Amino acid sequence: MEKIIDIGKYIEIIVNWMTVNFKPFFDLIKNSGNAFIEGVEWLLLSIPFYIIIIALTALSFFKVNKSTAATTLLGLTLIYLLGFWQETMETLALIVVSTVTALIIAIPVGIWSAKNKMASKIIRPILDFMQTMPAFVYLIPAVLFFSIGKLPGAFATIIFAMPPAVRLTTLGIQQVPAEVVEAARAFGATKKQLLFKVELPLAINTILAGVNQTIMMALSMVVIAGMIAAGGLGEKVLEGINNLNIGLGFESGLAVVILAIILDRTTQALGKKK
């Protein structure tokens, strides 16, 4: 088919222009971001594996339930025995960094969008775009801006994982009963008091559901990010695919599943607790 309009060309021009003109900015992000990721990675890897296993098991035992505690204990032990401990911790570090960064952006944006109709009108389609654009596509500008490595992996992950947190924060705030908000205003609450004493506490469960979704999406993206040398389990999975190594593919895939189950159950339970 003949191409009649060429949007791609313009996007390319813009991205290339940004790559050239914002280079110092991107470098700054790259350096500080890498330091952040490596710091978390270093922390997770310097703690002996059994302490992490015990700590996570204890957390899910006290905060979630016994069966999740058992899954955590067995799952993490299995990962260790399979020899994927380092890759799993790398992946976990990337998830932690991406999720934290995504939430730092997503929650304020979500609040803003809940409070301001105009903001909501603009943010909504952007979120739709971010969520439905095939995840692999984010890898291209990520690599162009930051070359390959962990940081572009985190960058792509953040963009991909952010929308549910924004949406659910907005939803949570909007779901706060109008009368409760009115009551707070009637007693002379300032906007800040209203947000921190009423809206956020009442929206917290919904927001935490968004956090859970963000973590899960980050996990799925982290594997994809293995394609740009982000390391971790993603690379092992890719290695399995490239070499048609069924054993390696299965084992590394299993490690991802275990990590996913543990993260999901734990964050979900934390959300419900309150």
Partner 1 sequence: MTSNKNLKIKVEDLTLIFGNNKTEALKLLNKGLTKEEILKKTNCTVGVNKASFEIFEGEMFVIMGLSGSGKSTLLRCLNRLIEPTDGDVIINGRNITKESNEKLLDTRRTEMSMVFQNFGLLPHRTVLDNAAFGLEIRNEEKNSRLQKAQEALETVGLKGFENQMPSQLSGGMQQRVGLARALANNPQVLLMDEAFSALDPLIRSDMQDELLELQSKLKKTIVFITHDLDEAIKLGDRILIMKDGIIEQIGTAEDILTNPASDYVKAFVEKVDRKNIITAGSLMFKKVAACHIHKEGPKAAIHKMRDLGNDVLPVLSEDRTFLGLVWLRDCLAAEKKGEKSLSSILKSEVPSVYMHYTVEEMLPLITESRAPITVVDENTGKFLGIVTQSSLIIESTRFDKNEIIELKEKAKEQ
Measured CA to CA, the distance from residue 52 to residue 132 in angstroms comes to 35
From 64-72, 117-125, 189-197, 213-221, span contacting partner 1 (CB under 8 A): 189-197
- List 1, 7, 118, 186, residue binding partner 1 (CB under 8 A): 186
State the amino acid at position 133 in one-letter form. Answer: M
Measured CA to CA, the distance from residue 205 to residue 222 in angstroms comes to 26
Per rule CB under 8 A, is residue 185 in the interface with partner 1? yes
Measured CA to CA, the distance from residue 35 to residue 16 in angstroms comes to 26
Per rule CB under 8 A, is residue 9 in the interface with partner 1? no
Measured CA to CA, the distance from residue 28 to residue 44 in angstroms comes to 24
Per rule CB under 8 A, is residue 97 in the interface with partner 1? no
- Whether the CA torsion 120, 123, 127, 129 is positive or negative: it is positive
Per rule CB under 8 A, is residue 177 in the interface with partner 1? yes
Per rule CB under 8 A, is residue 109 in the interface with partner 1? no
Per rule CB under 8 A, is residue 66 in the interface with partner 1? no
Token pair for residue 58? 């204890």
- List 5, 187, 246, 247, residue binding partner 1 (CB under 8 A): 187
Please give the size of the binding site for partner 1, defined by CB under 8 A: 18
Find all residues with CB under 8 Å of 190, minimum gap 6, and list them: none
DSSP labels, 190-225: -HHHIIIIIIHHHHHHHHHHHHHHHHHHHHHHHHHG
Smallest distance from the beta carbon of 259 to partner 1, in angstroms?
32
- List 180, 196, 242, 243, residue binding partner 1 (CB under 8 A): 180
Site string for partner 1, 192-221 (x = CB under 8 A): -x---xx--xx-------------------
Per rule CB under 8 A, is residue 11 in the interface with partner 1? no
Smallest distance from the beta carbon of 123 to partner 1, in angstroms?
23
Q: What is the C-alpha end-to-end distance of the chain, expressed in Å?
A: 57
Residues that bind partner 1 (CB under 8 A): 177, 179-180, 182-190, 193, 197-198, 201-202, 274
